[in-house]
Amino acid sequence: MRDHFELRDVDAGGRIGELTVPRAGVTVETPALLPVINPNIITIPPERLAEEFGAEILITNSYIIKTTEDVREQALEEGLHEMLGFDGAIMTDSGSFQLAEYGKIDTTTEEILQFQHDIGSDIGTPVDIPTPPDVSRERAEEELATTKERLEVAEGIDVGDMLVNAPVQGSTYPDLREEAGAHAAETDLDVFPVGAVVPLMNDYRYGDMVDVVAGAKRGLDHDCPVHLFGAGHPMMFALAVAMGCDLFDSAAYALYARDGRYLTVRGTEHLDDLDYFPCSCPVCTEYEPAELRQLSEREQEEELAAHNLHVTFEEIRRIKQAIRQGNLLELVEERARSHPAMLDGYRALVQHSAQLEETDPVSKGSFFYLSNESAARPEVLRHQERLDRFSPEGEVLLTEGSHSKEYDESWKVVPPFGPFPKALRNTYPLTAELPDRLDRDAYERAAMGVKRLAELNPETSFTLAHADWPKSALALVPDGVDHVNLTERSERLP
């Protein structure tokens, strides 16, 4: 049982939680964004991150601190909080990312965790091995074994009340991610970053990212706070939160600003290509794009970084509100429409609907059917799964139209859910709002519901009265079920 992370609200796999960070004496509301601070190049001072952006937690790199002599001495002397001018929670990374970039670092888990403790970090990190995507299974297994050993070493080190990360590796092998998650959850470590996803993000492989997170989540427990290591683009936050990620760190806001790049929730733009700002943050209300281009390089970078952070935090707030209202998946659908790679991510997500269904609330405010992918949402799966709770008997009409007294029972049919007893018509998710012009997936999914109901009740005789379903849907209706098309005058209910 982890008592430092409490869930307050849930929607699909997403949650609003409260992470208690004892060493900092603060709690952090999740989903949370941790701005990355490079102690050598501070684009926006931490004090401003707290005051202007509401940052409750940030992340910096203990390996960079340790290997930069004057910064190291200052950090050891003053402590991180004083040195950076930040009273919130501070997470530190270990140098593993440098290990992945340069192939070698000069420290060990024992040494760097002790150092993180000594400079006053609130959440430290062992030296895990960030195994890249697509490596051989053999390499992924070997490196995972090393990461597991490092976590066990970390467990044995006395770091007082500093929390410790237990990174989950396993490359692009979902079963290894699951195994790594289960192992990490068994340690007494505290926060669970899904590691080595940066190469997936850089290549816009959001579908693979979803599969990797889904694997890790299967191994972890529901009460494990999960960090998506190195993921800082606001475009994919809703997707990652819906999969169950709680923490994000963003170096993107500063790195992109250095390159003149402007973040939006629909993707990245270059300042040179913008005639208008699609944003009303303080930066975008003060300047026109042309004016921003005229600033000195240094000022332009700072203003762009500020805008990038504004949209990033704004998206986190929007996601939290969506979880509160139970429409996180609607937000994910909206984001999915901004880039084909995001659509892949969402299509991968609905393939994990059964896994998300485990945490998805039974009742929410509303269900908006917004795309053919909506037909595979967890709520639809759950409805069809639970058809085994009913036992319709005799001659049963399943109808999209009016009911008939000629039958022993008369049920409603609504795509994408399929059949349900009339009495349920006012219960979520059967109150869903649907477009008049439905897609094939909605009808096919409803037909799958008819099929399941018929298979669950082999003794019952069903008649389906549908409003002109496509052939592909009717092909899914079992032979034993009669069907009539309500829109054809020649076809009448008996």
**Does 195 help bind ligand GUN (rule: CB under 6 A)?**
yes
Could you say whether residue 133 binds ligand GUN (CB under 6 A)? Answer: no
End-to-end CA distance of the chain: 60
Using the contact rule CB under 5 A, the part of the chain among 283-291, 296-304, 342-350, 454-462 near Zn ion is 283-291
Q: Which segments of 33-68 does DSSP mark as H helices, in order?
A: 46-53, 62-66
The residue (of 232 and 416) whose beta carbon lies closer to Zn ion is: 232
* Angle value at C-alpha 296, between 291 and 302, nearest 5 degrees: 85
Locus of tokens 């997707």? 239
Contact positions with Zn ion (CB under 5 A) in 303-362: 307
Q: Which partner, Zn ion, ligand GUN, none, binds residue 211 by CB below 5 to 8 Å per kind?
A: none
Nearest residue (CB) to ligand GUN, 230 versus 345: 230
Q: Cβ closer to Zn ion: 285 or 391?
A: 285
Q: Which entry of ligand GUN, Zn ion, none binds 307, CB below 5 to 8 A by partner kind? A: Zn ion
Structure tokens at 222: 């529901």
Rounded CA-CA distance 414/431 in Å is 10
Minimum distance from residue 253 beta carbon to Zn ion (Å): 12
Helix (H) or strand (E) holding 165: none
Distance of closest approach, residue 376 Cβ to ligand GUN, in angstroms: 30
- Residue 471 in tokens: 């052939």
Within 13 Å of residue 102, how many CA atoms lie on the same side as its CB?
8
Burial per residue of 164-173, b for 16 or more beta-carbon CB atoms within 10 angstroms, e otherwise: bbbbbbbbbb
Position closest to ligand GUN via CB: 195
The CB-of-199 to ligand GUN minimum distance in angstroms stands at 9
* 300 near Zn ion, rule: CB under 5 A: no
**CA atoms within a 13 Å half-sphere pointing along the CA-CB vector of 309:** 30
Asked if residue 130 binds ligand GUN (CB under 6 A), the reply is yes
93 is catalytic: yes
Residue 34 near which of ligand GUN, Zn ion, none (CB within 5-8 Å, type-dependent): none
Angle at 336 between CA 236 and CA 207, to 5 degrees: 65
Residue linked to tokens 């509100």: 321
Q: How far is CA 474 from CA 311, 331, 466, in A?
A: 46, 32, 9
Residue 198's CB is within 10 A of a number of other CB atoms, namely: 20
d(CA 18, CA 296): 41
| Residue 435 one-letter amino acid | P
Q: Of the residues 9, 11, 93, 273, which is catalytic?
A: 93
Tell me which of ligand GUN, Zn ion, none is bound by residue 377, counting a contact when its beta carbon lies within the kind-specific cut-off of 5 to 8 angstroms.
Answer: none
279 near Zn ion, judged by CB under 5 A: yes
Nearer to Zn ion, 316 or 349 (CB): 316
443, interface contact from ligand GUN, Zn ion, none, CB < 5-8 Å by kind = none
Can you point out the beta strands (E) in 14-138?
A: 14-21, 26-30, 32-37, 57-61, 89-93, 123-124
62 touches ligand GUN by CB under 6 A: no
Q: Which of 229, 237, 253, 469 binds ligand GUN (CB under 6 A)?
A: 229
Q: Which stretch binds Zn ion (CB under 5 A): 277-285, 365-373, 375-383, 433-441?
A: 277-285
- Count of residues engaged in binding ligand GUN, rule: CB under 6 A: 13
Region binding ligand GUN by CB under 6 A among candidate stretches 43-51, 192-200, 204-212, 412-420: 192-200
Q: In this structure, are strands 192-194 and 14-21 parallel, antiparallel, or unpaired?
A: unpaired
Residue 279 interaction partner, one of Zn ion, ligand GUN, none, beta carbon < 5-8 Å per kind: Zn ion
Cα distance between residue 163 and residue 113, in whole Å: 11
Residue 130 binds which one of Zn ion, ligand GUN, none, with CB within 5 to 8 A depending on kind?
A: ligand GUN
Binding flag, residue 99, Zn ion (CB under 5 A): no
- From the list ligand GUN, Zn ion, none, pick the one residue 195 interacts with, judged by a Cβ distance below 5 to 8 Å according to partner type: ligand GUN
CA–CA separation, 298 and 232 (whole Å): 22
Residues in the chain: 494
Closest CA to 376 of 325, 436, 425, 439: 439
- Closest distance to ligand GUN from the beta carbon of 435 (Å): 41
**CA 250 – CA 259 distance, rounded (Å):** 15
**Which residues, 69 to 128, sit near ligand GUN by CB under 6 A?**
93-94, 96-97, 125, 128
Residues found near Zn ion in the complex (CB under 5 A): 279, 281, 283-284, 307
Residues found near ligand GUN in the complex (CB under 6 A): 93-94, 96-97, 125, 128, 130, 167, 195-196, 198, 229-230
Point out the residues that are catalytic.
Answer: 93
